């Protein structure tokens, strides 16, 4: 019996640790992307910064949901608090859909009214680091989610993997804008991301 309690405590600790790492990474990533977006005036980078901001909310939900789900069953919740994690996963999906709408709106406005992108070097560095970081943290959080059977962590890990792909896409858009004459690559790629998020 003591062994079982120790195992459960270890699993909860692993969930808390993974959720905390996710929150910390998303917060730092969002700040850096917002800085780069303001510096470059890139709509795809700004959209990605907003996407990361929703990830901060989503990862925070995951953190508090795994904490709440670890609370033992009581008179009001005889089967425990595990359903909180399922609700958290659903909430994160809603955040992604809202992000999709925002990205599409900003990209269309840029296509219609135009706009210049500046200081792309900084944007390229930040998006490259973000893509690699999202991949590493996403794999870690997903692994922790599977090992502890946490739906909230698995969902959050998937969103980090999405962040890796969208960050890579924004990186590609910035490379195209910098090295070719296709200036609309920035908003066009932002629209592609919006559609991709909507279908995933």
CA distance 30 to 103: 15
CA distances 128 to 21, 125, 134, 165, Å, are 19, 5, 10, 11
The residue that leads in pLDDT, 39 or 118, is 39
Q: Please say whether the beta carbons of 153 and 66 come within 8 A.
A: yes
Window from 72-76, 88-92, 133-137, 186-190 with minimum mean pLDDT = 72-76
CA distance 147 to 168: 28
Q: HSE on the CB side for 138, CA within 13 Å?
A: 16
CA distance 157 to 31: 20
For residue 140, name the pLDDT band (cuts at 50, 70, 90): very high
Question: Residue 74 corresponds to which tokens in the numbers above?
Answer: 């009581």
pLDDT of residue 80: 46
59-67 mean pLDDT: 75
Cβ-based neighbours of 198, under 8 Å, separated by 6 or more: 97, 100
Flag whether pLDDT at 95 surpasses 80.
no
Is the pTM value of this prediction over 0.85? no
Flag whether pLDDT at 73 surpasses 80.
no
pLDDT of residue 78: 46
């Amino acid at each position: 019996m003591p062994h079982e309690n120790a195992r459960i405590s270890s699993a909860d600790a692993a969930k808390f640790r993974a959720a905390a790492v996710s929150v910390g990474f998303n917060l730092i990533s969002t700040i850096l992307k917002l800085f780069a977006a303001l510096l470059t005036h890139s709509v795809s980078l700004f959209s990605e910064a907003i996407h990361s901001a929703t990830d901060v909310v989503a990862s925070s939900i995951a953190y508090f949901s795994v904490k709440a789900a670890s609370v033992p069953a009581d008179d009001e919740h005889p089967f425990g608090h595990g359903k909180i994690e399922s609700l958290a996963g659903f909430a994160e999906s809603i955040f992604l859909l809202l992000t999709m709408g925002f990205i599409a709106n900003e990209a269309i406005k840029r296509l219609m009214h135009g706009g210049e992108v500046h200081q792309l070097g900084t944007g390229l560095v930040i998006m490259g680091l973000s893509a690699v970081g999202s991949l590493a943290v996403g794999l870690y959080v997903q692994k922790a989610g599977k090992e502890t059977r946490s739906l909230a962590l698995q969902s959050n890990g998937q969103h980090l993997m999405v962040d890796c792909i969208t960050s890579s896409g924004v990186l590609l858009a910035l490379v195209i804008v910098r090295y070719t004459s296709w200036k609309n690559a920035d908003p066009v790629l932002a629209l592609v991301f919006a559609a991709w998020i909507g279908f995933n």
